[in-house]
Amino acid sequence: MNAGNDHIKLTYREALKQAIREALSKDDRVFLMGEDVGRYGGSFAVTKGLLQEFGPERIMDVPLSESGFVGAGIGAALSGLRPVVEVMTVNFSLLAMDQIVNNAATLLYMSGGQLNVPVVIRMSTGLGRQLAAQHSHSWEPMYAHIPGLIVLSAGTHGDARGMLLTALQSPDPVIIFEYTAMMNLEGTLPGHPETVNITKAGIIKEGKDISVITYGAGVYKSLDAANELSGSGIDAEVIDLRVLRPMDMETVFNSVKKTHRALLVEDAWGSVNIGAEVSARIMENVFYDLDAPVQRLCGAEVPMPYPKHMEDASVPQKEDIVAKLKKMLQHG
């Protein structure tokens, strides 16, 4: 849909599709493989129509064996191709952890720098559409823990459209997390795709009173909360980490030095998560710039419930972020 001024309005799902189409069009070495990506059009309809456009050698349906097809993607990358491997949900990626952790992440080191593994693995993550405990968790922290991987979080429409092409230029394995709950969310983007820097965090909204540091599904919720509070005299800065490994802490530290307060927001469980790591790094590096303790809003530490109201209650919502920010700044 045309939004005027050379901008277009599109859903997060369509932004992801545009990214895949552009990558396939620009480089004959790129192909997509995954469960139901071809004839079915993808479990979230992201790849609908791409099989007819590019054919079965570029859009490849695979057997239900995550270890098998992720391993095949790693082999293809070692052979000079640029595979994009789709894992239907992050929960299913556990079946391929041996391939990702013991092969993709380690081969460069174990070969003495001789073997690069330029594979991109896309995973849908987080809650959405009542998919319950086998399909809905936020396990970005697990992958951000692993040396040898580049771990990205597409928390905006711009990143959904732009991250893949940049990731495919990396000589190292890249994990891109995409967010189930955002698939139908509309956003406005420039008509022509922009280059995305996958080494830097993003400043989504500038502010002076407090830094809200988040990623993924937390980005738009935090932005909505910050915009709502701007009418109450609270000027919050919103930082999208975007790169979960290796993190761009310079942007985070500069923000905290400016606002002197930090709230970390994410859907993942609170124990041993991204927020815990960022909090520790803030304390280690810019402690004396803080006017108050760093605080966190995280997902409830339970398997993801099926009922909609419980699913919504299990992760921070805009209202929770608003209430927390007001409390931290002692407003009302």
pLDDT at 136: 79
Domain span at residue 6 reads: 2-190
Question: 215 and 146 in one domain?
Answer: no
pLDDT, tens only, 163-198 = 999 999 999 999 999 999 999 999 999 988 778 999
CATH number of residue 72's parent domain: 3.40.50.970
pLDDT at 305: 86
Reported pTM: 0.95
- The label of the residue with tokens 């989504």 reads 204
Residue 196: inside a domain, yes or no? no
pLDDT at 44: 87
Residue type for position 164: L
Instruction: Indicate which residue of 14, 35, 86, 135 is catalytic.
Output: 135
pLDDT at 191: 84
Cα–Cα dist 243/246, whole Å: 6
Q: Burial, 94: exposed, middle or buried (Cβ in 10 Å; 0-12, 13-18, 19+)?
A: middle
Residue 11: inside a domain, yes or no? yes
Question: 221 and 165 in one domain?
Answer: no
Residue 195: inside a domain, yes or no? no
165, 190, 215: which is the final residue of a domain? 190
Instruction: Indicate which residue of 14, 35, 66, 237 is catalytic.
Output: 66
161: how many CB neighbours lie within 10 A of its CB? 26
User: Taking Cα atoms as reference points, which of 79, 117, 314, 332 lies closest to residue 228?
Assistant: 332
Question: 155 and 35 in one domain?
Answer: yes
pLDDT at 331: 72
| 57 is annotated as an active-site residue | no
- Provide the token pair at 47: 């790849």
Residue 197: inside a domain, yes or no? no
**Four-CA torsion 199, 178, 151, 265, nearest 10 degrees:** 80
Question: 138 and 50 in one domain?
Answer: yes
pLDDT at 129: 75
The residues, ordered by sequence, that sit 6+ positions from 41 with a Cβ below 8 Å of its Cβ are: 47, 48, 49, 50, 51
Question: Which residues of the chain have a pLDDT value below 50?
Answer: none
| 66 is annotated as an active-site residue | yes
